[in-house]
Amino acid sequence: MNQLEIDTLEILDRITDGFFSVDTNWNFTYINSKASQLLFRNREDLFGKNIWSEFPEAVDLPFYEQYTKAVTEQVSVQFDSFFPPLDTWFDVRAYPSANGLSVYFLDVTIKKKAVSEQQQHYKSLFEQNPDAVFSFDLQGNYLSVNSAMEQLLGYTEAEFLQISYLPLVEEAELQRTRNHYELAAAGYTQHYETKALHKDGRVIHVSVTNIPIIVDKEVVGVYGIAKDITDHKATEQQLIKSEKLSAIGQLSASIAHEIRNPLTALKGFLQIMRSSAPSKEICYYEIMADEIARIEQITGELLMVAKPQVHHFHYENLKEIFHDVNTLLSSQALMNKVNIKVHSEEIPLVYCVGHQLKQVLINLIKNAIESMPSGGNIHVFIDKTNNDEVIIIIQDQGCGIPEDLLDNIGIPFYTTKQKGTGLGMMTSFKIIESHAGSMEITSKEGEGTVVKILLPVHFVE
């Protein structure tokens, strides 16, 4: 060993990196003191020994692959690897030479742990988030989704990673949604509402935030956060409807009241005039009488809902009430070739205003009869639930209601019938509401309509 070699070794021994060298047979030829310290091994013990028999665990780790690469391809390599026997992360650089391989390495465990902890912090924000969180490339292809997102739309992560957001947006919303996405991809955070499609075909109202992912001042993708607002939307719709109802209801009721008195006078005088009218004019009086009767019907219905009346709640037998309704409407049903089939179970007495519930049942059965101009069956099911409620289902085989018109049912004066008033369903909704019950309509155009009523048995006003 000449002086230069001795100096070099001394320097190597003092550097703060671990350093060792191996010959072409992978036997240790030099180990500095830092390396001995980092590897927890005496230099004397390692000297001349084969690296892979001394550290057999390293064979299955990047060490073996990388060192072999350095030697066979004669290139320097750099890599990070965890070494489980020492519970340590090493940052390694290895340089090939004619005599073998020189390796420098550092213990970077603390730094690695800090980074990994930070990553886990961020990952929790993603994984544990109750809102759906996901990321896209600039074309809108999914790069990652959290489990809330899998739940929201029913696809698995693997399925998402095959597609872009485009097929998951309802067609009518596509253009608008795409505009927002493109603005986000251009660097502007977007907040908007849209309609997404669940795997099972359901439409989900979502509130979405799109945030540009910026790396080194460049947008490289887009983050998305979505919240399911379907229920919220439905409640909002309900609220608007019921506010509209009560405003219109109150106004109509006061008008109806004002119309009633003059109407009585008109009706009376009409009768007197009719009795002395020439016979060729009788038909005019009949038409007038019919029209007055219609005005009376409308004002009557309006007053019934809107005028504050004192109602008497009692425990009543719903089956008896239904029986009365059935008798009342039997001739109309017969005339229209409609059979009313009742399926009823034992039910408790229900705390209610009997004549009001009767009105609801009349309205609903009448609508059902009117929906079947060429006859058919109406099935009525009466049963109790496990929840102290009574359930009434009225099912017809009539014309049904187109889906886009379903929301109109119950709006005052909404009718599709030539002689309809458009007040029956509003009245019924109001009455069921005042009994703390619920009424739900499902319908299929051309197949029929189902009205489901739930009434609490012991509702106390």
Binding site for ligand ADP (CB under 6 A): 363, 367-368, 371, 396, 398-401, 409, 414-417, 420-425, 449
> 266 touches which of ligand ADP, Mg ion, none (CB within 5 to 8 A by kind)?
none
**Of the two residues 48 and 420, which places its CB atom closer to Mg ion in the complex?**
420
Evaluate whether 140 touches 147 at the Cβ level (below 8 Å).
no
Q: Which residue has the tokens 């007040």?
A: 423
> 456 touches which of Mg ion, ligand ADP, none (CB within 5 to 8 A by kind)?
none
Total interface residues for Mg ion by CB under 5 A: 2
CA dist 385 and 367 (Å) reads 26
Distances from the Cα of 376 to the Cα of 224, 442, 447, angstroms: 52, 18, 11
**Of the two residues 424 and 437, which places its CB atom closer to Mg ion in the complex?**
424
> 96 touches which of Mg ion, ligand ADP, none (CB within 5 to 8 A by kind)?
none
The token duo for 446 is 């051309």
The region of 100-108, 153-161, 216-224, 367-375 touching Mg ion under the rule CB under 5 A is: 367-375
**Of the two residues 56 and 446, which places its CB atom closer to ligand ADP in the complex?**
446
Q: Which residue has the tokens 């019924």?
A: 428
| CB 408, min distance to ligand ADP, A | 7
CA dihedral of 189, 194, 197, 198, whole degrees rounded to 10: 70
| CB 451, min distance to ligand ADP, A | 7
Distances from the Cα of 117 to the Cα of 106, 121, 127, 180, 223, angstroms: 20, 6, 15, 34, 22
**Of the two residues 266 and 399, which places its CB atom closer to ligand ADP in the complex?**
399
> 401 touches which of ligand ADP, Mg ion, none (CB within 5 to 8 A by kind)?
ligand ADP
For the chain, the C-alpha Rg in angstroms (whole number) is: 41
CA dist 379 and 382 (Å) reads 10
**Of the two residues 39 and 360, which places its CB atom closer to Mg ion in the complex?**
360
| CB 412, min distance to ligand ADP, A | 8
| CB 425, min distance to ligand ADP, A | 3
* Exposed / middle / buried, residue 196 (Cβ in 10 Å: 0-12, 13-18, 19+): buried
367 binding Mg ion? (CB under 5 A): yes
Count CA atoms closer than 13 A to 437's CA, side-chain side: 26
| CB 396, min distance to Mg ion, A | 12
> 446 touches which of ligand ADP, Mg ion, none (CB within 5 to 8 A by kind)?
none
**Of the two residues 422 and 456, which places its CB atom closer to ligand ADP in the complex?**
422
**Of the two residues 100 and 398, which places its CB atom closer to ligand ADP in the complex?**
398
> 350 touches which of Mg ion, ligand ADP, none (CB within 5 to 8 A by kind)?
none
From the CB of residue 16, how many other CB atoms can be counted at a distance below 10 Å? 8
The token duo for 214 is 């910026």
| CB 426, min distance to ligand ADP, A | 6
CA dist 116 and 53 (Å) reads 31
> 343 touches which of ligand ADP, Mg ion, none (CB within 5 to 8 A by kind)?
none
> 396 touches which of ligand ADP, Mg ion, none (CB within 5 to 8 A by kind)?
ligand ADP
CA dist 422 and 413 (Å) reads 4
> 415 touches which of Mg ion, ligand ADP, none (CB within 5 to 8 A by kind)?
ligand ADP
Please, what is the angle between helix 230-275 and helix 424-434, to 10°?
A: 120
| CB 127, min distance to ligand ADP, A | 48
| CB 415, min distance to ligand ADP, A | 3
**Of the two residues 166 and 405, which places its CB atom closer to ligand ADP in the complex?**
405
Site for Mg ion in 416-455 (CB under 5 A): 424
| CB 289, min distance to ligand ADP, A | 20
**Of the two residues 277 and 362, which places its CB atom closer to ligand ADP in the complex?**
362
**Of the two residues 301 and 389, which places its CB atom closer to ligand ADP in the complex?**
301
| CB 397, min distance to ligand ADP, A | 10
Please give the residue ranges that form the binding site for Mg ion (CB under 5 A).
Answer: 367, 424
